[in-house]
Structure 1
Amino acid sequence: MSGVRARGARVASIDVLRGLVMMIMMVDHAREAFFLHHPVSDPMNLAETDPGFFFGRVAAHFCAPVFVFLTGLSAWLYAHPSSGPRSPAGFLFKRGLFLILLEITVITAVWAVQLSPPTIYLQVIWAIGLSMIALSLLHRLPRGVLIALGLAIVFGHNLLTPISFQPGEAGYIPWTILHDRGFLVSEGLVRIKVSYPLLPWIGVILLGYAVGPWYASATAPEQRRKLLLSAGAIALVLLAVLRGFNIYGETLLWEQGADALHSVMSFLNVTKYPPSLAFLLLTLGVGLLVLAWLEQRDNWFLRASAVFGGAPMFYYLLHLYVLLALQMAAIALLGANYGKRYEFDHLWQVWALSAVLLPLLYWPCRAFGNFKRRTTMAWVRYL
């Protein structure tokens, strides 16, 4: 499988990587649907988290940063088709607004029926939507400026951690949106909580857009592969130094555990909300290496992954509602066993459910992907 299939065609490796993280997302959301009695702290409490649960959660860490980075990269490809450059500003702005609308309506509805009082969680789709709006305003900057700005945000936002505001203070709402996870509205009929503070994700989407020229038709596949390998290796070396010596980039210092396994767990126990520098170096570093590896790989599993990655929003909405329907069916048929919910007793059941659902979702995603390529209806592009 080459990185670029043909002139004007979709980039296969991008769809594959997007599909891979979306399959991991299924496991994490199945856990939230059927294993919610085992809460997840951020970072995780290693004294209470068994290795199987921990590494499953670490795998889920890759979903959001890879998805946001690929959103930026895909935006550059949209702006530079084979027919000639075009402005992505209008599409990015409208798509961003559409994603925010989906987050507070269709996606919130999934969680609202399961929570009391109902809560609007502003999560990854909200973050992607606002990041796209930011990119619609910033994409005209010179590429060097975009790289510098993206790196400054990704590397520098940890310096802002000591800044905080209390509810009711003038800076609380904007700072909660930008950097500190918290409630915008904590009381009343509907609560609103920012789960994905925005600022770091703007840095990630800018870097994704700046990497776009590596996928230009004039760039040889081998050169692109070397660039991806170099960038990924640099990110992981920086992680090893900054995290290894507890210099900078993560508020929770790692320490030697009782054994090698728990030492590794401590090293990988990084902050997601907002994503620390260590979190982003780990996830984006590995993501870049995987993109390089995918340049020369092709098999049935990767082609299946590309089907999911080619219909990302359709898959996202579909899998959330399938999990909600299964939760409601389980309560109706088996009864609630954890409060008002039906949940699994063992983590392996979450993995088994995911293994069953993914092949079933392949066919509707494939059908929608084919429909999206054939149709002339403009609204379909937003899904």
Structure 2
Amino acid sequence: MLFLASMLGLIAVGGVAMTADFSTDEDETDKSQDTTSEDTAGQTAPETEGDTPNLLHFVTNDADQILSGDDQDNQIQGGTGNDQINGYDGDDTISGGQGNDDLHGSTGQDTLFGSDGNDTLHGEDGQDTISGDAGDDMMFGHNDDDLLLGGDGDDQMFGGDGNDTLHGGTGDDALHGGLGDDTLSGGAGQDTLFGGAGDDVLSGVVTEADTTASDLEGSAQSDQDFLNGGAGDDTIIAGEGDIVTGGSGEDSVVLGDWLSDGEAVEVVDFETGKDQLLMVCDLENNPDPEIEIQADETSPGVSHIFVDGTEIAVVHSRSPLVEDDIVLMDHADGGTFGLAMVS
């Protein structure tokens, strides 16, 4: 199934750990690189002979710098001030350092690290990897298929064009997929996810990689997230207490036994006969779960979903919910997100 393949990629993102390495290997430099190092006074160090120029900027004081690369594969590192760094052409690696920095990858497959501070990062053209790190960051993938990682802080992330992957990390984040078939995972905190156009995958479930033993101990419990698929046929994996809006298209809302200990999910725009609820259960240990649909006594069009006597979802629809709207799945089939995200 397509959405299962998408979820495998989403789960892998939860475990991504990125660090910026600006050290220069002497052997590699001798063989293939011209290295230019600028200090804060703009002085240029001697260049080594080689075939492929590689511009290195090292900034050591707290002044606000404007640093620019060239058409080669550059490594550029900001200092303690509020820097603006432009990679331009080439596959660049850029780190803002301390301060509130403005980073632009431009063309090429760039890697951007915000580091400390409230940074603004633009991948622009090319398949870029953008990591906000600490602080309340704003990240823009722009064109092509980009990977955006929020890190700590309350981040705002915009995928733009292409099939992007956005992972909020910790903090109360806002993720916008934009165009393309995007994969969005909020992580820990109260997050808001907008799929936008395309067939998107959205997850409000917290993975073990999003938490530490000192906070959630790898459980699926999370703050209430707001998940909006937008246009397209979206797959939305709901965590405890999440508010789900499918939007237009034929959407699948994934529920499961990870919801049994918390607040029920609320699905606000379910279209019977068009959308579907995918119920993921451990059928090996519980081969015959009791799934019950109860109509709300006071609100027509509202149905309450129970699994083995526990309410896990409240579904709003124009027509009464029926059994055919619910598809039962085993962890072995759809349960990569059931088992890996909930332990």
Band of TM-score, shorter chain:
under 0.3
Q: Which protein has the bigger helix share?
A: 1
How does the TM-score come out when normalised to structure 1?
0.21
Task: Please give the TM-score of this superposition, normalised by the length of structure 2.
Answer: 0.22
Structure with the greater alpha carbon radius of gyration: 2
Could you say which structure has the greater relative contact order, defined with CA pairs below 8 angstroms and 6 or more residues apart?
A: 1
